[in-house]
Amino acid sequence: MNKYDLEIKHAPDEGGHFGKFGGRFAAETLMQPLKEIEDAFFAAWADPEFHKERLDLLKNYVGRATPLYHAKQLTAEAGGAQIYLKREDLNHTGAHKINNTIGQALLARRMGKKKVIAETGAGQHGVATATVAAMFNMQCDIYMGREDIRRQAPNVFRMKLLGANVVPVDCGTATLKDAVNEALRVWVASCEDTYYIFGTAAGPHPFPLMVRQFHTVIGQEAREQCLAQAGKLPDVAVACVGGGSNAMGLLHPLQDDKSIRLVAVEAGGHGLDSGEHAASLAKGQPGIIHGSLSYVLADKEGQISANAHSISAGLDYPGVGPELAYMMDEGRLELDSATDDEALQAFQTLTKTEGIIPALESSHALAAGIRIAAGMDKEQVVLINLSGRGDKDLNTVMDKFGFDVDGSL
Amino acid sequence: MSNLLASVFERCAAENRAALVGYLTAGDPNIQTSELLILTLAEQVDIIEIGMPFSDPAADGPVIQAASERALQAGTKIHDVFTIAKKVREVKPDIGIVLMGYANVPYSIGFASFAEQAKESGVDGVLLVDVPAEESDICAAVFKQHDLSQIMLLAPTSTEQRIQLAANVGSGFIYYVSLAGITGAEMGAVQEIQDKLSLIRKYSKLPICVGFGVKTPEQAKSVAAFADGVVVGSHFVSHITLNTGDNAAMNGCLSASVKLMADAMGKG
């Protein structure tokens, strides 16, 4: 891809509101640091030098543009529309997350910060942060729920190899939401010299806007590639949603193509009626967590659900980015979901038909995408964001399938 | 603004001392014991801050986080918070009662219903940690309608512009956070706090209470020399943790601790 569109489209209002959602519901101590990040972001975004360096790193360090792959075997398996996979799994570090960490680390450096912190769930954002911190020679602390550390041991090891300090978080449910809380607490006390690289298109303004902008390369490339390869725009674009970074990255640049159905796939966990899922948009209620107003999984008195569940640590989050909430309420976003079992099924299907092992997060998008494609004509196109590769999930899947080296799967 | 909060500060000023503001989380360690402890605290403070437990207290340090977790574990609901406030009001008609917590609880039950119940329970003001001036529209009108003061936080990182914003929105008093950090951390340097208060007073006539990190009577005394009020939270909560399972000891230690603070601040 030669030229990315750098215009900021569908911007929130000055306070970071997308309709009634978003905003900056943060403690007073953080308001000025957030304003400083916002000002630095807009200044950087208007500076051609910033993009020159960012896009050069995305090309030569990350490996962009990522391919768009026409998955013919998977298409045959689904038996309907042509399935195209946006191969974010081929990025350096194995997921889309690095698009954002490159951007924010450059911003941190421009702001003169010597240290970065981040939260992580599956560990992908933690790895992507630790990676850029190593490259930029910045001190790096990653906050991670103890439960997630257990589930994602290989990524913990990767972060440590990269020189990051992985701090276990024990409070609350010891998962992603608690890692965010802890990172916020640490940041409050250290914002003078520390930059918080927020990992998803949620949180207080300007994070939802900024993270989305850094990921729009995904959708911009995919749109152009789809036109070139399929000879038309996709009929449906599908992405999994935890906080919403890969979803906003893919879907935002397609938003103005009104013919394209935009589908957000949430984690159905043990089923949408089981109470154990992470489908904030489908089953949540408007609420305020981690600095913005969006949909949350909470009880009627606003206590955030401790039962949020997904087999994929990256989707196991009781909130969702405010812009997705807005798009849903405006009718521009279709909701779908995939259960743990459906995601595991799709994980195997892609592996066996295409020789690509997807992340469990992306497997949710695949499960829904395959289902949707099956009901469509073969002249139609379904674009699925393959947001990450599955190496990090092998332990989880091994546990699930009861792998025995002497037996067969 | 609630006239009662104003009269509390007037009374303290007349006695030439700062107001003692004490915090405990409602429902910690359980609803029944919490009621006892909060009534004990209410006996000796000028303003009581009752914490509304929340699952994700991102601005709180380990002590108050744990208090929130214990309270929720014990099944504390917002109704229990109101009940405790009401009991305080019955025995202490003259002290200020402030509810402190995070936006999602009142937002979820509805600000109108929340404000109505708070007022009925004798509450004078509400402090929502994650509702800064920019977002205060979400509840300002409803609070005003129910004569509830909207207490705003200011912090070492607050610029002059932000001080003006908070001064325009806030009522009751201003809660100045002594340090850039979470509750229960080490108190900021006294001179810096004093300088910031002078700056705030340029823009606001509201009384200013200083909190976050005040743990010893000496600290309380040093801050009371120039602030209108001193908030003690985590230190009081720590008596619950230190005396787990022994309600009498908990209550005794809390009472003695509040008295030490009150004495240091010249409260007769």
- Position A151 pLDDT exceeds 90: no
Predicted local confidence at residue A2, as pLDDT: 67
Mean confidence (pLDDT) of chain A: 96
Average pLDDT over residues B2-23: 95
A255 Cα to chain B: minimum distance (Å): 28
Q: Supply A366's token pair.
A: 């695949």
Tell me the three state secondary structure of residue A316.
coil
B266 Cα to chain A: minimum distance (Å): 31
Q: Which residues of A are catalytic?
A: 97, 119, 387
Which of B109, B130, B161 would best serve as a mutation to test chain A binding (most A beta carbons within 10 A)? Answer: B130
Least confident of A124-128, A150-154, A381-385, B88-92: A150-154
pTM to 2 decimal places: 0.96
Residue B55 sits at the chain A interface (C-beta within 8 Å): yes
Interface of A with B in 229-288 (CB under 8 A): 285-288
Average pLDDT over residues B213-221: 95
Q: Supply A322's token pair.
A: 């405010």
Contact between residue B234 and residue B183 where contact means Cβ atoms under 8 Å apart: yes
Closest partner residue to B162 (CB to CB) among A25, A32, A304 is A32
CA–CA separation, A23 and B150 (whole Å)? 19
Average pLDDT over residues A54-71: 98
- Position B83 pLDDT exceeds 60: yes
- Beta strand pairing call for A68-70 and A82-87: antiparallel
CB contact under 8 A, A301 and B77: yes
Q: What is the maximum alpha-carbon separation in chain B?
A: 48
Average pLDDT over residues B27-34: 98
Contact between residue B156 and residue B196 where contact means Cβ atoms under 8 Å apart: yes
Cis peptide bond prior to A206, omega within 30° of 0? yes
- Beta strand pairing call for B229-232 and B208-211: parallel
Predicted local confidence at residue A403, as pLDDT: 77
CB contact under 8 A, A27 and B109: no
Chain A CA closest to residue B71: A303
* Phi-psi group of A16: left, alpha or beta (phi > 0 → left; psi -120 to 50 → alpha; rest → beta): left
Q: How many CB atoms lie within 10 A of CB A49?
A: 9
Closest partner residue to A188 (CB to CB) among B154, B159, B180 is B180
Contact between residue A401 and residue A302 where contact means Cβ atoms under 8 Å apart: no
CB contact under 8 A, A27 and B59: yes
pLDDT band of residue A127 (cuts 50, 70, 90) is very high
ipTM of the complex, rounded to two decimals: 0.95
Span A294-334, pLDDT tens digits:
999 999 999 999 889 999 988 989 999 999 999 999 999 99
- Position A66 pLDDT exceeds 70: yes
Average pLDDT over residues A262-278: 97
- Position B110 pLDDT exceeds 80: yes
Cis peptide bond prior to B106, omega within 30° of 0? no
Residue A14 sits at the chain B interface (C-beta within 8 Å): no
- Which backbone phi and psi does A215 adopt, to 5 degrees? -100, -5
Structural domain for B232, as ranges: 3-264
- Position B56 pLDDT exceeds 70: yes
Q: Which amino acid is at A66?
A: T
B230 Cα to chain A: minimum distance (Å): 19
Please list every residue in chain A whose beta carbon sits closer than 8 Å to the beta carbon of residue B77.
301
H-run or E-run covering A49: helix A48-57
Q: Supply A302's token pair.
A: 């606003």
Q: Which amino acid is at B48?
A: I
Closest partner residue to B180 (CB to CB) among A29, A177, A304 is A29
Least confident of A172-181, A278-287, B196-205: A172-181
Q: Which of B28, B46, B60, B124 is catalytic?
A: B60
Please list every residue in chain B whose beta carbon sits closer than 8 Å to the beta carbon of residue A191.
157, 180
Residue B78: give its domain's CATH number.
3.20.20.70
pLDDT band of residue B2 (cuts 50, 70, 90) is low
Q: Supply B53's token pair.
A: 């437990």
Tell me the three state secondary structure of residue B175.
strand
More confident position, B7 or B180: B7
Predicted local confidence at residue A409, as pLDDT: 62
Chains A, B: CB contacts within 8 A come to 124
Q: Which of B46, B49, B80, B228 is catalytic?
A: B49
Tell me the three state secondary structure of residue A149.
helix
Least confident of A2-6, A183-187, A212-216, B256-260: A2-6
Q: Which residues face A294 on adjacent strands? A: A287
Radius of gyration, CA atoms only, chain B: 17
- Position B1 pLDDT exceeds 60: no
- Which backbone phi and psi does A44 adopt, to 5 degrees? -65, -45
- Position A9 pLDDT exceeds 70: yes
Please list every residue in chain A whose beta carbon sits closer than 8 Å to the beta carbon of residue B131.
25
Q: How many CB atoms lie within 10 A of CB A339?
A: 20
Name the E strands within A247-320.
261-269, 285-289, 292-296
CB contact under 8 A, A27 and B153: yes
Mean confidence (pLDDT) of chain B: 96
Average pLDDT over residues B45-67: 96
Q: Using CB atoms within 10 A of its CB, is residue B115 exposed (0-12), middle (13-18) or buried (19+)?
A: buried
Domain count, chain B: 1
Residue B198 sits at the chain A interface (C-beta within 8 Å): no
Residue B252 sits at the chain A interface (C-beta within 8 Å): no
Average pLDDT over residues A215-234: 98
Residue B69 sits at the chain A interface (C-beta within 8 Å): yes
